[in-house]
């Protein structure tokens, strides 16, 4: 009897040790906690996303993107770290939710009724329309019934629901192919490269990609605007939804959401095919020779932004001259050149050095209440129309109930400085504010094109090097076929 008791004690001890070892991996672990408590206990918010010009990408090996920044702020709000998983296509994103590998999807996903049976959505943070795209040198279709070629859309996308609705209601002969291994961005690029006739994308992503792939053309809107949201697993536990709602509300009240929207969406406007093509050609032909100078003198700003400023000023022509007497790569006035010790305004290096130094001085003068990431836009407005007129624009913004420290608010008042009923209320009077507005917006577009285009070049070079290495190893290079269903 005594020996039996000892055996029970031994078995109980072993069982306790095994339970402690296996506790984190058993299926029922954490069921007593709500979603937010589990995230906080884990110390990590897990998101899944895709690589796109708006959601998530890297610059200088640092992650950026609207969804990434939102998710990072949400993780900070919860007091946890952020873990980002980048998936190659939309279907893999939702698999992560189904398999419990992600707490939420932050990938610029469009609100879709069909998904609501299995998932829940967070608050909307911007809206897009679904658009059909084609290559600019091909015939433009008028509607979904006018397609003469293959239409391919991404598996798991909201576009499938829109196409099914269109076929049921209006176009019974409409057909399409579903790509299971390509994200919407890859399909958009395939259309731009002439490898695919048509696809559907969201209006914002298309507008951003056109800065890099100007051959991408919009045929027509497939839907009206619909909200973009995060997705979370369907559950009776609403703790995660409540936290997201409170987080987005606080972002709105603090003005942080407006700044984020301005950063990523504020310059998504009209698209000029000819101007974009000309700029991309200049990147290939002219930029390589002068790139080292931008890198050398960029100082506190990204060299690609300094290059974009110079292109807006002179189209990288060192001999450029305006009717008002400004000259050179950075189009300096004689007085400005003297203030930064530039003797020859037509000398490329002197002009870039002087323009960068003058811009730095402007940034230092910008009021300290303006957020760091927006100071450059205020400085550029001052660079273009004068510092005093930039201060007038801020005062006019405050007088009209806007935020004088928000570029999104102030830029709307710039054109008013050329209208008498508004500039009469200012200290320094009339200014060509509409020119300053266009000046800054153009620079932001050029910067976007430059960053994206250089990234595409790097990707192509990496692919070429990988292919050459594979061929050099003696093994044949095989291009995988696109999987369809």
Give the chain's domains with CATH numbers.
273-443 (1.10.530.10)
Question: What is the distance between the alpha carbons of residues 35 and 45, in angstroms, rounded to a whole number?
Answer: 10
Which residue, 266, 349, 363, is CA-closest to 310? Answer: 349
How does residue 312 score in pLDDT terms, banded at 50, 70 and 90? very high
Residue 8 has pLDDT above 70, yes or no: no
Question: What is the distance between the alpha carbons of residues 193 and 189, in angstroms, rounded to a whole number?
Answer: 6
Residue 313 has pLDDT above 50, yes or no: yes
Which residue, 194, 123, 121, 108, is CA-closest to 154? Answer: 108
171 or 21: which leads in pLDDT = 171
The pLDDT value given to residue 61: 81
In the annotation, is 313 catalytic?
Answer: yes
Residue 476 has pLDDT above 60, yes or no: no
Question: ∠ CA(111), CA(113), CA(114), 5° rounding?
Answer: 115
Two tokens, residue 417: 């400085």
**In this predicted model, what pLDDT tens digit does every residue of 338-376 receive, in sequence order?**
999 999 999 999 999 999 999 999 999 999 999 998 999
What backbone phi and psi angles, to 5 degrees, belong to 95? -60, -35
| Exposure of 236 in the CB half-sphere (CA atoms within 13 A) | 2
Question: What is the distance between the alpha carbons of residues 195 and 207, in angstroms, rounded to a whole number?
Answer: 20
Question: What residue spans of 193-255 are helical by DSSP H?
Answer: 203-209, 239-254
The pLDDT value given to residue 32: 58
**In this predicted model, what pLDDT tens digit does every residue of 440-470 receive, in sequence order?**
999 999 999 999 999 888 888 887 777 777 7
The pLDDT value given to residue 353: 97
- What percentage of the chain carries pLDDT values higher than 90? 76
Question: What is the distance between the alpha carbons of residues 38 and 480, in angstroms, rounded to a whole number?
Answer: 40
47 or 33: which leads in pLDDT = 47
Residue 471 has pLDDT above 80, yes or no: no
The pLDDT value given to residue 6: 40
Two tokens, residue 235: 């559950």
**In this predicted model, what pLDDT tens digit does every residue of 235-261 receive, in sequence order?**
889 999 999 999 999 999 888 998 999
Q: Are residues 107 and 66 in contact, defined by beta-carbon separation less than 8 angstroms? A: no
Question: What is the distance between the alpha carbons of residues 380 and 308, in angstroms, rounded to a whole number?
Answer: 12
- Ranges of beta strands (E only) in 91-189 are 104-110, 119-121, 126-128, 130-135, 152-154, 177-179
The pLDDT value given to residue 466: 76
- Ranges of beta strands (E only) in 111-212 are 119-121, 126-128, 130-135, 152-154, 177-179, 199-202
The pLDDT value given to residue 31: 52
**In this predicted model, what pLDDT tens digit does every residue of 169-179 receive, in sequence order?**
999 999 999 99
The pLDDT value given to residue 454: 93
For 42, 46, 222, the CA distances from 246, given in Å and listed in that order, are 21, 19, 33
Q: Which residues contact 146 (CB under 8 A, 6 or more apart)?
A: none
The pLDDT value given to residue 474: 54
Which residue, 136, 128, 95, is CA-closest to 112? Answer: 128
Residue 485 has pLDDT above 50, yes or no: no
For 73, 183, 247, 403, the CA distances from 254, given in Å and listed in that order, are 13, 34, 11, 11
Helix (H) or strand (E) holding 97: helix 90-98
73 or 477: which leads in pLDDT = 73
How does residue 62 score in pLDDT terms, banded at 50, 70 and 90? confident
Question: What is the distance between the alpha carbons of residues 383 and 337, in angstroms, rounded to a whole number?
Answer: 13
Q: Are residues 71 and 106 in contact, defined by beta-carbon separation less than 8 angstroms? A: yes
226 bridge partner residues: 128
Question: What is the distance between the alpha carbons of residues 452 and 459, in angstroms, rounded to a whole number?
Answer: 11
How far out from the chain centre does Cα 265 lie?
A: 8
Angle between helices 375-385 and 387-399 in degrees, nearest 10: 120
- What percentage of the chain carries pLDDT values higher than 70? 91
Over the chain, what is the mean pLDDT?
Answer: 89
Question: What is the distance between the alpha carbons of residues 427 and 388, in angstroms, rounded to a whole number?
Answer: 8
Residue 227 has pLDDT above 70, yes or no: yes
The structure tokens 């279709």 sit at 141
Helix (H) or strand (E) holding 47: strand 44-49
The pLDDT value given to residue 473: 60
Q: What is the mean pLDDT of residues 184-200?
A: 96
Residue 50 has pLDDT above 50, yes or no: yes
Q: What is the mean pLDDT of residues 384-389?
A: 94
Q: Are strands 130-135 and 216-221 parallel, antiparallel or unpaired?
A: antiparallel
| 167-188 burial: b if 16+ Cβ within 10 Å, else e | eeeebeebebebbebbbbbbbb
By the 10 Å C-beta count (0-12 exposed, 13-18 middle, 19+ buried), 293 is classed as buried
CA dihedral 45, 49, 54, 59 (to 10 degrees): 80
Q: Which residues contact 222 (CB under 8 A, 6 or more apart)?
A: 129, 130, 131, 132, 144, 159, 162, 163, 166, 200
Q: What is the mean pLDDT of residues 186-198?
A: 96
The pLDDT value given to residue 23: 42
The structure tokens 């399909």 sit at 187
* Catalytic residue (choose from 313, 374, 456, 481): 313
CA dihedral 324, 326, 332, 333 (to 10 degrees): -50
């Amino acid at each position: 009897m005594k020996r039996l008791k000892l055996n029970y004690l031994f078995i109980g001890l072993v069982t306790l040790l095994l339970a402690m070892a296996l506790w984190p991996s058993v299926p029922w672990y954490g069921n007593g906690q709500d979603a937010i408590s589990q995230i906080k206990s884990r110390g990590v918010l897990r998101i899944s996303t895709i690589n796109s010009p708006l959601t998530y990408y890297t610059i200088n090996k640092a992650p950026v993107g609207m969804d990434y920044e939102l998710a990072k702020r949400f993780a900070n709000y919860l007091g946890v770290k952020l873990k980002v998983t980048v998936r190659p296509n939309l279907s893999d994103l939702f698999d992560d939710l189904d398999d419990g590998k992600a707490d939420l999807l932050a990938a610029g996903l469009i609100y879709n009724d069909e998904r609501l049976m299995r998932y829940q959505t967070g608050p909307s943070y911007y809206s897009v329309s679904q658009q059909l795209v084609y290559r600019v040198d091909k015939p433009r279709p008028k509607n979904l019934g006018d397609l003469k070629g293959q239409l391919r859309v991404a598996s798991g996308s909201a576009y499938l629901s829109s196409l099914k609705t269109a076929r049921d209601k209006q176009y019974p002969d409409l057909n399409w192919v579903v790509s299971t291994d390509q994200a919407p961005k890859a399909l958009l690029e395939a259309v731009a490269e002439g490898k695919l006739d048509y696809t559907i994308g969201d209006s914002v992503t298309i507008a951003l990609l056109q800065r890099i792939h100007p051959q991408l053309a919009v045929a027509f809107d497939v839907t009206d605007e619909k909200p973009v949201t995060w997705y979370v697993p369907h559950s009776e536990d609403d703790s995660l939804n409540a936290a997201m709602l409170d987080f987005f509300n606080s972002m709105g009240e603090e003005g942080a959401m407006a700044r984020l929207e301005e950063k990523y969406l504020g310059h998504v406007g009209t698209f000029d095919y000819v101007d974009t093509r000309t700029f991309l050609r200049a990147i290939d032909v002219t930029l390589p020779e002068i790139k080292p100078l931008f890198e050398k003198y960029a100082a506190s700003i990204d060299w690609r932004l300094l290059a974009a400023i110079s292109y807006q000023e002179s189209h990288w022509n060192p001999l450029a001259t305006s009717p008002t007497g400004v000259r050179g790569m950075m189009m300096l006035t004689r007085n400005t050149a003297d203030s930064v010790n530039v003797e020859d305004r037509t000398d490329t290096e002197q002009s870039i050095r002087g323009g960068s130094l003058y811009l730095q001085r402007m940034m230092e003068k910008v009021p300290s209440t303006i957020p760091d990431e927006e100071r450059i836009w205020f400085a550029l407005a001052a660079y273009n129309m004068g510092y005093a007129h930039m201060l007038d624009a801020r005062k006019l913004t405050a007088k009209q109930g806007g935020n004088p420290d928000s570029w999104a608010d102030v830029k709307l008042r710039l054109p008013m400085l050329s209208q008498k009923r508004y500039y009469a209320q200012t200290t320094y009077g009339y200014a060509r504010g509409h020119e300053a507005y266009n000046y800054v917006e153009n620079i932001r577009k050029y910067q976007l094109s430059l960053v994206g285009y250089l990234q595409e070049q790097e990707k192509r070079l990496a692919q070429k090097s990988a292919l050459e290495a594979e061929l050099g190893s003696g093994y044949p290079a095989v291009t995988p076929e696109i999987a369809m269903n």
